[in-house]
Amino acid sequence: MNIFRSVWRKILLLQLENYHLGRFRQLAAKREAYTDSTRQRIKWTAKLILVAGLAKLIILAMAGLVAVVIHLIVPSGYPAIVVFVGVFLAAVSIFEYFLAAAVIILLPLDRYIKQRWIVRARAKIKSLPNLKIVAVAGSYGKTTTKEVVATILREKFQVVVTPGTENTPLGIARLIKREVDSQTEVLVIEMGEHEPGDIRDLCQIAPPHLSVLMGINEAHLERMGSLANATAALFEIVTYARPETMVFLNADSPLIAQHAKEYCGQHETIWFSAQGHSRARFQIKQPEFRADGSGWRFEFWEDKRKIGSYQVPILGEYILGTVMAAVAIAQKLGLTDSEITRGVSQIKPVAHRLQLISGHRDILVIDDSYNGNPDGVREAIRVLVHFPDRRKVFFTPGLLETGERTREIHLRIGQELALVADLVILIRNSVTPHLAEGLRAKNFLESNIIWFDNTLAAHAALANILKPRDVILFQNDWPEDYL
């Protein structure tokens, strides 16, 4: 690999790991963690520019110092410029150590800046007693739910919502300071979790009036250590919320259903479900999948009263539960049925989350590149079932951060995929052999498993693999090179 391309990928990995040095150095040692299977783009924030710039300065200073010292000690030796270049290139090859050093050096400044933003954001929230805060957490579904809730509530309120996948304390504090004002009526926040205490910290900045928990699974299990830790960490959105907080829970998530009573206590609890669970607030009637890209049509009923007929351009069946949660929130905040119906009609697909794209030669491309959790993969597999008249191609490098359950999770995915897919494209790494093992366990033909050493090679070969009217789903991978 080109040495400077390696530097670029290590910078990207540091940002993706949110500057967690232990995790960063562990993954930087694994080539697969930052080569072609991770094809996201660097966001050049002020912090990253400072960290990368300082790392470069350390290398330049070290190379210059070594060159000068050697020249003084051995004047007739190699020219100083040769020594400088040699030391510089050697240091760049282990750039992750200099990035880590830069992070450590800047840590006091970083903490000061973060704390200043957080204090200011807390003060602003306290100065706005009429502001309602809706917070969304979960192993999956956070971003889509946040967008759906905000879209519907805009029919009645002035809404500020966290952009993209921004869900860290600093990002949310900046949003509050810059965009929330006396005119803001509702703040919708996505609360991210990497370790226990992350959601607690976010609740201390913006304590929610309405807390939504989408699901709990093995995502981030490698960091959390156990499902028990993950469960407690995600239920922090209830534990550290306001005493009067209303809680909206996904009845389709077994771990939520199992632990709700333990964590929710006296909070008013409202259940939602895409699968018609009896606990759900509404009943879903006449659900219909539209394979032309218009997504799902369905009705919501509350007892014998019809709330509305809806159509949303999102492929995953999970959207039925997501909309149900959003409609329940809208009702609690005073929206009428007609306002809710207009809001639902404004829902748009969320980029890179089961996003349907028309490709070449009448090939349908489903971009699920931001999906990195087991439940999301199963949802993606279920989506393929809805295209019975097309050859179904599944493209994946597998999942990261699944800890000691990596083999079990990928075996199960492979077994489920074998019942649906016609062709599976895999990237060679430490997890995809388990996925292939699962495929074979269900008698999936070996000739229909295609292996590539990296994603760039795989994308380059797609023109010769795909046929007219295929549907290809990119799971946890970026499809732009093909498009």
Contact call for residues 373 and 139 (beta carbons, < 8 A)? yes
pLDDT at 480 > cutoff 50: no
Residue 117 domain flag: no
Tell me, yes or no, whether 168 and 311 share the same domain: yes
Q: Give the pLDDT confidence score for residue 478 in this predicted structure.
A: 57
Alpha helices in 74-160 (DSSP H): 80-92, 95-126, 142-153
Tell me, yes or no, whether 239 and 171 share the same domain: yes
Tell me, yes or no, whether 341 and 374 share the same domain: no
Tell me, yes or no, whether 86 and 59 share the same domain: yes
Q: Give the pLDDT confidence score for residue 30 in this predicted structure.
A: 62
283-290 and 295-302 strand pairing? antiparallel
Which domain does 17 fall in, by range? 3-110
Between helix 46-73 and helix 3-16 the angle, nearest 10°, is 140
pLDDT tens, 124-164?
999 999 999 999 999 888 999 999 999 999 999 999 999 87
pLDDT tens, 217-231?
876 666 777 888 889
pLDDT at 483 > cutoff 60: no
Nearest alpha-carbon partner for 186 in 347, 349, 308, 329: 329
Region 388-407: mean pLDDT is 86
More confident residue, 1 or 351: 351
Domain total of the chain: 3
Q: How far is CA 336 from CA 39, 166, 186, 285, in A?
A: 44, 30, 17, 20
Q: How far is CA 143 from CA 150, 162, 248, 446, in A?
A: 11, 9, 16, 36
pLDDT tens, 291-345?
776 799 999 999 889 999 999 999 999 999 999 999 999 999 999 999 999 999 9
Of 57, 78, 110, which residue sits at a domain end? 110
pLDDT tens, 73-130?
877 667 888 889 899 999 998 999 999 999 999 999 999 999 999 999 999 999 999 9
Tell me, yes or no, whether 287 and 382 share the same domain: no
* CATH of residue 304: 3.40.1190.10
* Burial degree of 415 (CB within 10 A; 0-12, 13-18, 19+): middle
Paired with 449 in beta bridges are 424
Q: Give the pLDDT confidence score for residue 38 in this predicted structure.
A: 45
Dihedral, CA of residue 136, residue 141, residue 144 and residue 150, to nearest 10: -20
Measured distance CA(467)–CA(471) in Å, rounded? 9
pLDDT at 482 > cutoff 90: no
Tell me, yes or no, whether 201 and 254 share the same domain: yes
pLDDT at 371 > cutoff 70: yes
Of 310, 345, 380, which residue sits at a domain end? 345
CB atoms < 10 A from the CB of 257, how many? 17
Region 460-475: mean pLDDT is 93
